[in-house]
Amino acid sequence: MIVIRGIQKTSLVDFPGNICVTVFTGGCNMRCPYCHNRDLVLEAGSLPRIPQEEILALLESRAGLVDGVCITGGEPTLQEELGGFAREVKSLGFKVKLDTNGTNPRILDELLGRGLLDYVAMDIKAPLGKYRELTRSQVNLRHIDASIGLIRSSRVDYEFRTTVAPGLITGEDLLEIGRWLAGARKYVLQQYMPGPTLDEAFAGRRPYSGDWLEDAARKLRPFFERVEVRK
């Protein structure tokens, strides 16, 4: 069964256009220094495990009140039983949204091919040339490109999104990402929020201003059908 380490019983922001239950899987194969989910990434085994049955029972009790489930992490595609959980959620009549870093196109292809996803949000960490530096991991760049292709060619709603971390992501980086993903439906710039982070050096960094992000979004709009700023 899928290993769930956290739950938010009601979210209005994690699944665009839907009210959802958000579940958090433990473990991640990246070490992005600005990540706020330190415990889920580094110490997932120390967190209580929430039984899958408990999540499904919660959904059944909230039928008509929530529309679906957002599966996030950590990195959910590290869970070999992810497909089984998504199938159970769908069988109850709920939608499924997946948050992923795109490092596991095999699992993503399986989920999409079986019609188990209604929305995919893939984090684009940086231009390809900076991926390993920013994620502090030996990510397979071909897998990132493969996941992008799978999502773009699918019929499900999707977004690509980048957390605009000060000192790591520049305006030119965003333009390079725009050229890389040109023609995609939706791209979201996510505001970096100070707070507890994987690398404590990032905890107090001042984020880019709202005006800076809006200007970056304006420059990116020629590349995408839709660009949003999420603060």
Q: What is the pLDDT of residues 133-167, one digit of tens each?
A: 999 999 999 999 999 999 999 999 999 999 999 99
85 domain-assigned: yes
Tell me the per-residue pLDDT of 167-190, one tens digit each, with 9 for 90 and over.
999 999 999 999 999 999 999 999
223 domain-assigned: no
Split into its structural domains, the chain has a count of 1
The predicted structure's pLDDT at residue 154: 97
pLDDT band at 127 (very low <50, low <70, confident <90, very high): very high
Angle between helices 105-113 and 82-91 (to 10 degrees): 20
Classified as helix, coil or strand, 9 is strand
The two structure tokens encoding residue 66: 């929530």
Tell me the per-residue pLDDT of 23-78, one tens digit each, with 9 for 90 and over.
999 999 999 999 999 899 999 989 999 999 999 999 999 999 999 999 999 999 99
Which structural domain range is residue 117 located in? 4-161+189-204
The predicted structure's pLDDT at residue 121: 98
117 domain-assigned: yes
The predicted structure's pLDDT at residue 202: 87
The predicted structure's pLDDT at residue 194: 87
210 domain-assigned: no
CA gap 145, 46 in Å, rounded? 33
Q: Look up the CATH number of the domain holding residue 71.
A: 3.20.20.70
51 domain-assigned: yes
35 domain-assigned: yes
CA gap 109, 113 in Å, rounded? 6
- Hey, what's the torsion of the CAs at 192, 5, 8, 186, to 10 degrees? 50
Phi and psi at 228, nearest 5°, equal -125, 155
Cis amide leading into 27 (omega within 30): no
Residue 221: pLDDT over 90: yes
DSSP string, 106-167: HHHHHHHHTT--SEEEEE--S-GGGHHHHHTS---HHHHHHHHHHHHHSSSEEEEEEEE-TT
CA gap 88, 6 in Å, rounded? 18
166 domain-assigned: no
Tell me the per-residue pLDDT of 68-118, one tens digit each, with 9 for 90 and over.
999 999 999 999 899 999 999 999 999 999 999 999 999 999 999 999 999
CA gap 175, 112 in Å, rounded? 29
30 domain-assigned: yes
The predicted structure's pLDDT at residue 195: 86
The two structure tokens encoding residue 109: 């292809």
The predicted structure's pLDDT at residue 213: 98
- Cα of first residue to Cα of last residue in the chain, in angstroms, is 34
Classified as helix, coil or strand, 20 is strand
Classified as helix, coil or strand, 16 is coil
Phi and psi at 160, nearest 5°, equal -105, 145
**Exposed/middle/buried for 32, CB within 10 Å: 0-12, 13-18, 19+?**
buried
The predicted structure's pLDDT at residue 99: 98
**pLDDT averaged over every residue in the chain:** 96
Residue 193 CB: number of other CB atoms within 10 A? 12
